Amino acid sequence: MDRKFKDLVDGLQQKYEALIGMIPVTVDTAPIDTPKGGVYLFSEGSRNLYTGRTKRLIRERLKDHVSTADDCPFAWRLAREKTGKKATYKIKGSRKELLKDPEFRSEYESSKARIRKMEVRYVGEDDPLRQTLLEIYVAVVSEAKYNDFDTH
């Protein structure tokens, strides 16, 4: 393996263990002093669901997942799964149009409420390359259901 790449991946398991080993919080109970930059994992009980990363304060990124905005990606994914409705790049079926659908809108808001109750664990990592690799590592090793790394 190339030495530069090996240097990037060498600490992934240790960071993963720190993340998994932390006492979980929720979006609302995450402390003010979360790291700036890192990887986080949403779970329900023993089911790991979604991992993400941020260069901002982790606490602030977690709040984005339950905000009043209409672009909370994890909530979108949950709502699409529940309703079977997918957004398209056409006007009919677009995200804007989906949000006008009462069934979808209701499920989207319910998904944000569900996320607010989920357990969250996180670990700081401010290097963008290590952070990217760590997000993938955490998703794969934890078997996070909603990470697929497909292009959209």
Tell me whether residue 28 is in a domain. Answer: no
Residue 107 domain flag: yes
97 band by pLDDT with thresholds 50, 70 and 90: confident
Q: Lowest-pLDDT range, 57-66, 81-90, 107-116, 141-150?
A: 81-90
For residue 88, the enclosing domain spans: 9-21+37-142
Average pLDDT, the chain: 94
Closest C-alpha among 17, 74, 52 to residue 131: 52
Any domain includes 1 = no
The answer to whether residue 147 is domain-embedded is no
Overall domain count for the chain: 1
Identity of residue 113: A
- The verdict on residue 60 lying in a domain is yes
- In a domain, residue 56? The reply is yes
Q: Is 95 among the domain residues? A: yes
Q: How far is CA 136 from the centre of its chain?
A: 11
Residue 67, SS3 per DSSP: coil
Query: 30 lies in a domain?
Result: no
The sign of the torsion formed by the CA atoms of 101, 102, 103, 107 equals: positive
Quote the CA–CA distance of 114 and 78 in Å, as a whole number: 10
Query: Burial of 50 by CB count in 10 Å (0-12 exposed, 13-18 middle, 19+ buried)?
Result: buried
pTM: 0.93
